[in-house]
Amino acid sequence: MTVTQHSPVASPRHADAAVPHGAVLPALFVSHGAPLFALDAGTTGPALTQWGAALRQQFPQLRGIVVMSPHWMARSLQVMTGPQPATWHDFGGFPPALYQLQYPAPGSPALAQEVLALLNAAGLAAQGDEARPFDHGAWVPLMHLFPQADVPVVQVALPAQAGPADVYALGAALRSLRSQGVLVVGSGSMTHNLAEFFGGVREPAPYVLEFSRWIESALVRGDLQALLNYRTLAPHAHRAHPTEDHFLPIFFALGAAGDDLHTSYLSREVMYSMLSMDAFALQAAH
């Protein structure tokens, strides 16, 4: 697999994402793309880095990150509890340099216990996993967001049988963390049909743009029901996501964000013609 050029998508409304002022952190959705995103950052990586630096300035009380990635799917609800999770290179066939990368952010057993308590209080039975490493769906985007790797990170598993409403409920159970110095992140992919990956320099596939902008329109309208039912309402939903796993983390961010939202886009880049790298922050509209 070779490093390719990227096709940026023209930015419509609210193109420049700003980190909000106030005591409550935003929730964040990021597309982590292919593992090579760690090295081949396109325009999305620098946008995440800039946003992360601005967040640190405006929220110096940032004490941790809670992230969900589709690369940790479990039969039951699990939460990372280890103090120093390893960096897992959970992929094959990429350049050797990719396997040398490490993201040595600490875990946070204390924050993990808070997460477990909130989930269990919401009736969502969860257990800790002390041995869980960071998979690339977590460490690759975090490497761009917080390159110093100095913010403690706790990862939450995506339950294997969960649907959009289930994942939304998981995020909603953790909503209070945003007012306690914790950034809640859903890491997935706005589009993810790897059967259509051919490499090379190619224009964004039209269906990728149509699906991504339909989702953006629903976000801007605050139409949660449309988003929860995207599988039947969004154009090309099954082509954009032959399986739901890489889209479901968007609902983790939406649940953590709650109602009355303003959506600020960090990126609308498309890589390899078929991977939409959309990333956006969600915060209160007032």
Distance, CA of 45 to CA of 161 (rounded, Å): 31
Q: What is the pTM of this model?
A: 0.91
pLDDT confidence tier of residue 197, bands split at 50, 70 and 90: confident
Q: Where are the alpha helices (DSSP H) in the chain?
A: 44-58, 96-100, 109-121, 136-145, 164-173, 206-221, 224-228, 230-233, 237-240, 249-257
- Is pLDDT above 70 for 28? yes
* SS3 call for 61: coil
Angle between helices 164-173 and 109-121 in degrees, nearest 10: 120
**Cα–chain center distance at 182:** 15
**pLDDT level of residue 108 (50, 70, 90 thresholds):** very high
Q: Which of 121-130, 157-166, 199-208, 228-237 has the lowest mean pLDDT?
A: 199-208
Residue 125 tokens read as: 């039975």
Any residues with CB less than 8 A from the CB of 109 and at least 6 apart, and which? 81, 82, 83
- Kindly report which listed range (10-14, 47-51, 61-65) carries the lowest average pLDDT score: 10-14
- For 144, other C-beta atoms within 10 Å of its C-beta total 22
Query: What percentage of the chain carries pLDDT values higher than 70?
Result: 91
* pLDDT average, residue stretch 190-197: 90
Q: Which helix (H) or strand (E) holds 157?
A: strand 153-159
Query: Which DSSP state fits 135?
Result: P
pLDDT for residue 201:
62
Structure tokens at 23: 């005591």
Report d(CA 131, CA 129) in Å as an integer.
6
Mind listing the pLDDT tens digit for each residue in 236-269? Answer: 999 999 999 999 999 999 999 998 789 999 999 9
Question: For 94-114, what is the mean pLDDT?
Answer: 97
Mean pLDDT of the chain: 91
Q: What percentage of the chain carries pLDDT values higher than 90? A: 86
Show the tokens assigned to 48. 């995440």
* Sheet of strand 270-271: strand arrangement: 6-7, 270-271, 275-276
pLDDT, position 23: 85
Contacts of residue 232, Cβ cutoff 8 Å, sequence gap at least 6: none
Can you list the domains of the chain with their CATH numbers?
6-85+102-284 (3.40.830.10)
